[in-house]
Structure 1
Amino acid sequence: MGLHTILKKLRRKEKEVRVLILGLDNAGKTTLLKRLNGEDTSEVSPTLGFNIKTLEHRGFRLNMWDVGGQKSLRGYWRNYFESTDAIIWVVDSADRRRMEDCHRELRSLICEEKLLGSSLLVLANKQDLPGGPAP
């Protein structure tokens, strides 16, 4: 399911969608947001808190919330759940040693009551790096 599929599912009158970009630290959440916004990605720093960008896509206004993924910040994720329409869960697919931690956090996330009904896109990032999944 891609971004377009999520938007088709969410089709409604106001055409404004709140999307959370979540995942473990160093998964590539900020880089993804910058790429979607057409920004330079040569220098990206860890997110301490959150970044917000509003993107226009096929008649929709996407309010994209990139939230820091450091372990010390994950407890604050639930502060962003209210009125969330979709989640993009970014996974560093080349980092095999953190896959269990990633799975555990995602399992916890999908059990959150405030996220019931939200669409979920799992994005396997960094597939081009050594250690990434085989084609």
Structure 2
Amino acid sequence: MFEWFWNILSSLGLYYKNAKILFLGLDNAGKTTLMHILRDDRLVQATPTQQPTAEEVIIGSVRFRAFDLGGHAAARQVWRNYYTTVDAVVFLVDSCDRERFTEARQELGQLLDDTNLADVPFLVLGNKIDLAGAASEDELRQILGLQMTTGKGTVAVQDVRPLEIFMCSLVRKIGYGDGFRWVSQYI
């Protein structure tokens, strides 16, 4: 009944849905770069994340409290501490780092199998498609074991976790916007 009212408020920037989102993935996948791009639309040379960081970013009608938890082995040990009340996970994969695809698959698999995240939507971003030797979307799906995803676009799901992969280049600022629009519908 009041949906039109909320749509008007949202379009004016007066109302936002609030969401907690985690940026996860191996080190050097682009989590910190993504955070900077979403926060202030700037591309910066990021140093490896040593401590978890949080930023507030607004995408469409959703105000995200985004957490970049780092991706090196020691940082992955604290990911679990942030699962409480999380609304979505963005898992980034360096689509050029073929030597670490197996490691990325294992980490993603552990996240998808974790009962604390059973109902949480997962957006997988295959980053760095602008570089030579980048895996294609089909190849990355196969490698990560994501043959069964929920579909792109506006997709109603029932009794299944929303899960989809989008290819992107953070440096060229392409692809990730479609992914965030997709995941926003499930928040």
What TM-score do the two structures reach when normalised by structure 1? 0.84
Greater strand percent: which structure? 1
Shift of 1:51: 1.4
Q: Distance in 1 between matches of 2:44 and 2:88?
A: 27
Shift of 1:75: 1.2
Q: Which moved more, 1:36-45 or 1:77-86?
A: 36-45
Q: Distance in 1 between matches of 2:131 and 2:110?
A: 27
Q: Looking at both structures, which has the greater relative contact order when contacts are Cα pairs under 8 Å and sequence separation is at least 6? A: 1
Listed as ranges, the gaps of 5+ residues in structure 2 are: 1-15, 138-187
Q: Deviations over 1:34-69 (max 9, x none)?
A: 111124323211101211111122222111111110
1:102 alignment partner in structure 2:
104
Listed as ranges, the gaps of 5+ residues in structure 1 are: 1-13
Aligned CA RMSD, in angstroms, stands at 1.8
Whether the 8 Å contact between 2:36 and 2:44 is mirrored in structure 1 is no
What's the secondary structure of 2:40's corresponding residue? Answer: coil
Amino acid paired to 1:122 = V
1:37 alignment partner in structure 2:
39
Q: Does 1:83 align with 2:102?
A: no
Q: Deviations over 1:68-112 (max 9, x none)?
A: 100122111100111011000000000001000000000001111
What's the secondary structure of 1:44's corresponding residue? Answer: coil
Within-5 A mapping of 1:1-135: 15-134=17-136
Amino acid paired to 1:49 = Q
What's the secondary structure of 1:63's corresponding residue? Answer: strand
What TM-score do the two structures reach when normalised by structure 2? 0.62
Greater C-alpha radius of gyration: 2
Matched pairs, number: 123
Shift of 1:129: 1.1
Amino acid paired to 1:22 = L
Whether the 8 Å contact between 2:90 and 2:122 is mirrored in structure 1 is yes
Q: Distance in 1 between matches of 2:118 and 2:26?
A: 21
Amino acid paired to 2:96 = A
What's the secondary structure of 1:37's corresponding residue? Answer: helix
Q: Distance in 1 between matches of 2:136 and 2:78?
A: 34
Could you tell me the percent identity over the aligned residues? 37
Q: Distance in 1 between matches of 2:136 and 2:26?
A: 22
